[in-house]
Structure 1
Amino acid sequence: MEFDRDRLNRFYQYCYALTRHEQDAYDLLQSGIEKLLKQSPAQADTADAYLYRIIRNTFIDQYRRQQRFEHEAFDEDQHSVDFDITTLESLSIDSHHLNKLMAEISTAEREMLFLWAVEEYTTQEVADLLGIPKGTVLSRIFRLRKKIQNYDASNKQVSGGIAL
Protein backbone atom coordinates (compact mmCIF):
# COMPACT_ATOMS: atom_id res chain seq x y z
CA MET A 1 0.00 0.00 0.00
CA GLU A 2 1.41 3.39 -1.00
CA PHE A 3 0.60 6.85 0.28
CA ASP A 4 1.20 9.74 -2.08
CA ARG A 5 1.74 13.28 -0.83
CA ASP A 6 -1.85 14.44 -1.45
CA ARG A 7 -3.31 11.44 0.33
CA LEU A 8 -1.03 11.90 3.34
CA ASN A 9 -1.88 15.60 3.42
CA ARG A 10 -5.62 14.79 3.51
CA PHE A 11 -5.11 12.43 6.42
CA TYR A 12 -2.90 14.98 8.19
CA GLN A 13 -5.59 17.65 7.79
CA TYR A 14 -8.13 15.26 9.28
CA CYS A 15 -5.80 14.59 12.22
CA TYR A 16 -5.25 18.33 12.65
CA ALA A 17 -9.01 18.93 12.63
CA LEU A 18 -9.29 16.49 15.52
CA THR A 19 -6.28 17.57 17.58
CA ARG A 20 -5.91 21.27 16.71
CA HIS A 21 -2.16 20.88 17.31
CA GLU A 22 0.46 20.32 14.62
CA GLN A 23 2.71 17.83 16.41
CA ASP A 24 -0.21 15.91 17.89
CA ALA A 25 -1.67 15.63 14.38
CA TYR A 26 1.60 14.18 13.05
CA ASP A 27 1.74 11.72 15.95
CA LEU A 28 -1.88 10.69 15.40
CA LEU A 29 -1.29 10.19 11.67
CA GLN A 30 1.82 8.10 12.32
CA SER A 31 -0.04 5.94 14.84
CA GLY A 32 -2.93 5.47 12.43
CA ILE A 33 -0.74 4.44 9.51
CA GLU A 34 1.26 2.12 11.75
CA LYS A 35 -1.92 0.38 12.90
CA LEU A 36 -3.21 0.19 9.31
CA LEU A 37 0.00 -1.43 8.09
CA LYS A 38 -0.06 -3.93 10.96
CA GLN A 39 -3.69 -4.92 10.35
CA SER A 40 -3.78 -4.42 6.54
CA PRO A 41 -7.43 -4.38 5.41
CA ALA A 42 -8.59 -7.05 2.98
CA GLN A 43 -9.59 -4.61 0.23
CA ALA A 44 -7.28 -1.78 -0.82
CA ASP A 45 -10.16 0.41 -2.02
CA THR A 46 -11.58 0.58 1.51
CA ALA A 47 -8.21 1.48 3.05
CA ASP A 48 -9.01 5.21 3.21
CA ALA A 49 -12.24 4.70 5.10
CA TYR A 50 -10.51 2.16 7.31
CA LEU A 51 -7.66 4.60 8.07
CA TYR A 52 -10.14 7.37 8.93
CA ARG A 53 -11.77 4.96 11.39
CA ILE A 54 -8.41 3.96 12.89
CA ILE A 55 -7.36 7.61 13.28
CA ARG A 56 -10.67 8.53 14.90
CA ASN A 57 -10.55 5.62 17.35
CA THR A 58 -6.90 6.34 18.19
CA PHE A 59 -7.77 9.98 18.85
CA ILE A 60 -10.61 8.96 21.16
CA ASP A 61 -8.30 6.56 23.02
CA GLN A 62 -5.64 9.25 23.43
CA TYR A 63 -8.22 11.80 24.57
CA ARG A 64 -9.55 9.43 27.22
CA ARG A 65 -6.01 8.67 28.38
CA GLN A 66 -5.24 12.40 28.70
CA GLN A 67 -8.33 12.93 30.83
CA ARG A 68 -6.85 10.62 33.46
CA PHE A 69 -3.77 12.80 33.94
CA GLU A 70 -3.45 16.49 34.68
CA HIS A 71 -1.44 18.56 32.27
CA GLU A 72 -0.41 22.18 32.15
CA ALA A 73 -1.71 24.27 29.26
CA PHE A 74 0.78 26.09 27.06
CA ASP A 75 0.59 29.86 27.59
CA GLU A 76 0.95 31.44 24.14
CA ASP A 77 1.24 34.99 25.51
CA GLN A 78 4.20 34.03 27.68
CA HIS A 79 6.00 32.27 24.81
CA SER A 80 5.14 34.56 21.92
CA VAL A 81 7.37 34.91 18.87
CA ASP A 82 7.86 38.08 16.82
CA PHE A 83 6.57 37.72 13.26
CA ASP A 84 7.21 39.82 10.20
CA ILE A 85 4.22 42.16 9.76
CA THR A 86 4.05 41.49 6.01
CA THR A 87 3.65 37.78 6.71
CA LEU A 88 0.79 38.46 9.09
CA GLU A 89 -0.93 40.77 6.61
CA SER A 90 -0.87 38.09 3.93
CA LEU A 91 -3.11 35.80 6.00
CA SER A 92 -6.66 35.76 4.66
CA ILE A 93 -8.25 34.51 7.87
CA ASP A 94 -7.84 36.20 11.22
CA SER A 95 -6.37 33.36 13.26
CA HIS A 96 -7.61 34.82 16.55
CA HIS A 97 -11.25 34.67 15.42
CA LEU A 98 -10.77 31.29 13.78
CA ASN A 99 -9.28 29.87 16.98
CA LYS A 100 -12.16 31.31 19.01
CA LEU A 101 -14.67 29.71 16.65
CA MET A 102 -12.89 26.36 16.72
CA ALA A 103 -12.82 26.47 20.52
CA GLU A 104 -16.59 26.97 20.56
CA ILE A 105 -17.35 23.85 18.55
CA SER A 106 -16.86 20.34 19.86
CA THR A 107 -14.40 17.78 18.55
CA ALA A 108 -17.27 15.85 16.96
CA GLU A 109 -18.42 19.02 15.19
CA ARG A 110 -14.88 19.79 13.97
CA GLU A 111 -14.56 16.23 12.70
CA MET A 112 -17.88 16.41 10.86
CA LEU A 113 -17.08 19.86 9.44
CA PHE A 114 -13.73 18.60 8.18
CA LEU A 115 -15.15 15.52 6.49
CA TRP A 116 -18.07 17.38 4.95
CA ALA A 117 -16.60 20.81 4.06
CA VAL A 118 -12.90 20.10 3.52
CA GLU A 119 -12.85 16.50 2.30
CA GLU A 120 -16.18 17.06 0.49
CA TYR A 121 -17.69 13.75 1.53
CA THR A 122 -21.44 13.42 1.04
CA THR A 123 -23.60 13.30 4.15
CA GLN A 124 -24.11 9.58 3.56
CA GLU A 125 -20.35 9.00 3.37
CA VAL A 126 -19.83 11.03 6.56
CA ALA A 127 -22.55 8.97 8.26
CA ASP A 128 -20.87 5.74 7.16
CA LEU A 129 -17.42 6.89 8.31
CA LEU A 130 -18.71 8.00 11.71
CA GLY A 131 -21.10 5.09 12.13
CA ILE A 132 -24.19 7.25 12.70
CA PRO A 133 -27.46 7.68 10.76
CA LYS A 134 -27.56 10.11 7.82
CA GLY A 135 -30.37 12.10 9.49
CA THR A 136 -28.13 12.71 12.49
CA VAL A 137 -25.39 14.03 10.20
CA LEU A 138 -27.86 16.34 8.45
CA SER A 139 -29.22 17.74 11.71
CA ARG A 140 -25.73 18.24 13.16
CA ILE A 141 -24.57 20.05 10.02
CA PHE A 142 -27.66 22.26 10.20
CA ARG A 143 -26.95 23.13 13.86
CA LEU A 144 -23.27 23.66 13.09
CA ARG A 145 -24.15 26.06 10.27
CA LYS A 146 -26.40 28.02 12.62
CA LYS A 147 -23.66 28.15 15.25
CA ILE A 148 -21.14 29.45 12.71
CA GLN A 149 -23.62 31.99 11.33
CA ASN A 150 -24.38 33.25 14.84
CA TYR A 151 -20.68 33.51 15.57
CA ASP A 152 -20.06 35.32 12.28
CA ALA A 153 -22.91 37.75 12.96
CA SER A 154 -21.55 38.58 16.40
CA ASN A 155 -18.00 38.99 15.06
CA LYS A 156 -18.27 41.05 11.88
CA GLN A 157 -14.47 41.21 11.65
CA VAL A 158 -14.18 37.62 10.41
CA SER A 159 -13.61 37.54 6.67
CA GLY A 160 -12.84 34.74 4.26
CA GLY A 161 -13.15 31.08 5.09
CA ILE A 162 -15.51 28.38 3.95
CA ALA A 163 -18.91 29.35 2.55
CA LEU A 164 -21.53 27.30 4.32
Structure 2
Amino acid sequence: LQQNPLPNLQQLLQENLVGLKQFLNLSNLKERVYLYGRGSLGLGTLQEKVQGIPPAFLKPLIKKRVFENDTLKFYAEVFGLPSPEVKWFCNKTQLVAGDRVQMERDGDSISLIIRNVTKADQGEYICEAVNYVGEARSVALVVVVSQEVEIPCKTHLNLSINGI
Protein backbone atom coordinates (compact mmCIF):
# COMPACT_ATOMS: atom_id res chain seq x y z
CA LEU A 1 0.00 0.00 0.00
CA GLN A 2 2.49 2.56 -1.12
CA GLN A 3 -0.05 4.71 -2.99
CA ASN A 4 -0.06 8.45 -2.53
CA PRO A 5 -2.58 9.63 -1.51
CA LEU A 6 -3.56 6.66 0.60
CA PRO A 7 -6.52 4.66 -0.75
CA ASN A 8 -9.72 4.49 1.25
CA LEU A 9 -11.02 1.26 2.73
CA GLN A 10 -13.72 0.78 0.08
CA GLN A 11 -11.15 0.99 -2.74
CA LEU A 12 -8.95 -1.59 -1.06
CA LEU A 13 -11.83 -4.01 -0.56
CA GLN A 14 -13.19 -3.53 -4.09
CA GLU A 15 -9.78 -4.12 -5.66
CA ASN A 16 -9.22 -7.16 -3.40
CA LEU A 17 -5.99 -5.66 -2.12
CA VAL A 18 -6.98 -6.52 1.44
CA GLY A 19 -9.22 -9.08 3.00
CA LEU A 20 -11.25 -8.87 6.16
CA LYS A 21 -10.00 -11.37 8.70
CA GLN A 22 -10.87 -9.44 11.84
CA PHE A 23 -13.48 -6.87 12.78
CA LEU A 24 -12.73 -3.82 14.86
CA ASN A 25 -15.36 -2.10 16.99
CA LEU A 26 -14.19 1.48 17.40
CA SER A 27 -16.13 4.05 19.40
CA ASN A 28 -15.70 7.62 20.62
CA LEU A 29 -13.69 8.55 17.56
CA LYS A 30 -13.67 12.26 16.80
CA GLU A 31 -12.18 12.78 13.34
CA ARG A 32 -10.12 10.07 11.67
CA VAL A 33 -9.24 6.40 11.95
CA TYR A 34 -5.69 5.31 11.21
CA LEU A 35 -4.97 1.64 10.60
CA TYR A 36 -1.50 0.18 10.24
CA GLY A 37 -0.75 -3.37 9.21
CA ARG A 38 2.19 -5.61 8.40
CA GLY A 39 1.94 -8.70 6.27
CA SER A 40 3.65 -10.64 3.50
CA LEU A 41 3.31 -7.62 1.19
CA GLY A 42 5.03 -5.27 3.64
CA LEU A 43 3.87 -2.44 5.86
CA GLY A 44 0.57 -0.74 5.02
CA THR A 45 -1.30 2.29 6.22
CA LEU A 46 -4.93 3.26 5.86
CA GLN A 47 -6.64 6.47 6.84
CA GLU A 48 -10.45 6.81 6.89
CA LYS A 49 -12.49 9.83 7.94
CA VAL A 50 -15.11 9.14 10.62
CA GLN A 51 -18.59 10.05 9.45
CA GLY A 52 -21.35 11.50 11.58
CA ILE A 53 -23.88 14.28 12.00
CA PRO A 54 -23.96 16.45 15.13
CA PRO A 55 -27.26 16.57 17.04
CA ALA A 56 -29.85 19.19 16.04
CA PHE A 57 -33.33 19.89 17.39
CA LEU A 58 -35.92 19.59 14.61
CA LYS A 59 -38.66 20.59 17.09
CA PRO A 60 -37.31 22.48 20.10
CA LEU A 61 -38.88 22.80 23.54
CA ILE A 62 -41.47 25.54 24.04
CA LYS A 63 -42.17 27.48 27.24
CA LYS A 64 -44.97 26.19 29.44
CA ARG A 65 -47.40 27.48 32.02
CA VAL A 66 -48.90 24.76 34.20
CA PHE A 67 -51.07 24.67 37.32
CA GLU A 68 -49.92 23.03 40.53
CA ASN A 69 -50.88 19.34 40.75
CA ASP A 70 -51.34 19.16 36.95
CA THR A 71 -49.03 17.32 34.52
CA LEU A 72 -46.16 19.04 32.68
CA LYS A 73 -45.41 17.62 29.22
CA PHE A 74 -42.52 18.49 26.91
CA TYR A 75 -42.26 17.07 23.40
CA ALA A 76 -39.32 17.60 21.03
CA GLU A 77 -37.51 16.02 18.09
CA VAL A 78 -33.74 15.66 17.92
CA PHE A 79 -31.64 14.13 15.13
CA GLY A 80 -28.00 13.11 14.85
CA LEU A 81 -25.79 10.28 13.59
CA PRO A 82 -25.12 8.31 15.57
CA SER A 83 -28.35 8.82 17.45
CA PRO A 84 -27.54 11.18 20.32
CA GLU A 85 -27.82 10.42 24.02
CA VAL A 86 -30.50 12.65 25.58
CA LYS A 87 -30.49 14.10 29.11
CA TRP A 88 -33.03 16.38 30.80
CA PHE A 89 -32.26 19.09 33.37
CA CYS A 90 -34.37 21.35 35.59
CA ASN A 91 -32.55 24.38 36.97
CA LYS A 92 -29.20 22.74 36.06
CA THR A 93 -29.99 19.53 37.98
CA GLN A 94 -30.19 16.36 35.88
CA LEU A 95 -33.61 14.72 36.09
CA VAL A 96 -33.95 11.03 36.90
CA ALA A 97 -36.94 8.90 35.92
CA GLY A 98 -39.15 7.89 38.83
CA ASP A 99 -42.74 7.90 40.09
CA ARG A 100 -43.44 11.48 39.01
CA VAL A 101 -40.88 11.87 36.21
CA GLN A 102 -41.10 9.92 32.96
CA MET A 103 -38.74 10.21 29.95
CA GLU A 104 -39.61 8.56 26.66
CA ARG A 105 -37.97 8.17 23.27
CA ASP A 106 -39.29 6.83 19.99
CA GLY A 107 -36.67 7.33 17.28
CA ASP A 108 -36.10 11.08 17.00
CA SER A 109 -39.16 11.95 19.13
CA ILE A 110 -38.47 12.58 22.81
CA SER A 111 -40.68 13.56 25.72
CA LEU A 112 -40.53 14.51 29.36
CA ILE A 113 -43.59 14.11 31.58
CA ILE A 114 -43.79 15.31 35.19
CA ARG A 115 -46.92 14.48 37.19
CA ASN A 116 -48.31 16.35 40.21
CA VAL A 117 -46.33 19.50 39.47
CA THR A 118 -45.26 21.64 42.44
CA LYS A 119 -43.72 25.11 42.72
CA ALA A 120 -40.33 23.37 42.96
CA ASP A 121 -40.77 22.21 39.34
CA GLN A 122 -40.78 25.82 38.12
CA GLY A 123 -37.72 27.14 36.28
CA GLU A 124 -35.44 26.51 33.31
CA TYR A 125 -35.64 23.14 31.55
CA ILE A 126 -32.84 21.99 29.27
CA CYS A 127 -32.83 19.02 26.94
CA GLU A 128 -29.27 18.09 26.00
CA ALA A 129 -28.42 15.80 23.07
CA VAL A 130 -24.84 14.53 22.65
CA ASN A 131 -23.00 12.23 20.23
CA TYR A 132 -19.30 11.98 19.34
CA VAL A 133 -19.69 14.60 16.59
CA GLY A 134 -21.20 17.33 18.77
CA GLU A 135 -23.99 18.44 21.07
CA ALA A 136 -27.17 20.52 21.02
CA ARG A 137 -29.43 22.02 23.65
CA SER A 138 -33.00 23.21 23.72
CA VAL A 139 -34.15 25.44 26.59
CA ALA A 140 -37.63 26.42 27.84
CA LEU A 141 -39.02 28.14 30.91
CA VAL A 142 -41.79 26.67 33.04
CA VAL A 143 -44.06 28.77 35.23
CA VAL A 144 -46.11 26.93 37.86
CA VAL A 145 -49.33 28.72 38.80
CA SER A 146 -50.98 28.17 42.18
CA GLN A 147 -54.47 26.78 42.05
CA GLU A 148 -56.50 29.09 44.18
CA VAL A 149 -59.45 27.44 45.80
CA GLU A 150 -62.59 29.53 45.75
CA ILE A 151 -64.77 29.08 48.78
CA PRO A 152 -68.36 30.01 48.11
CA CYS A 153 -69.20 32.93 50.27
CA LYS A 154 -72.78 33.57 51.30
CA THR A 155 -73.53 36.85 52.96
CA HIS A 156 -76.77 37.52 54.70
CA LEU A 157 -77.58 41.04 55.56
CA ASN A 158 -80.48 41.81 57.81
CA LEU A 159 -81.05 45.51 57.86
CA SER A 160 -83.75 47.38 59.57
CA ILE A 161 -83.97 51.10 59.52
CA ASN A 162 -86.00 52.85 62.17
CA GLY A 163 -87.27 56.33 61.84
CA ILE A 164 -87.12 56.80 58.12
**TM bucket normalised to smaller:** under 0.3
Could you tell me the TM-score, scaled by structure 2's length?
0.17
Structure number having the greater helix percentage: 1
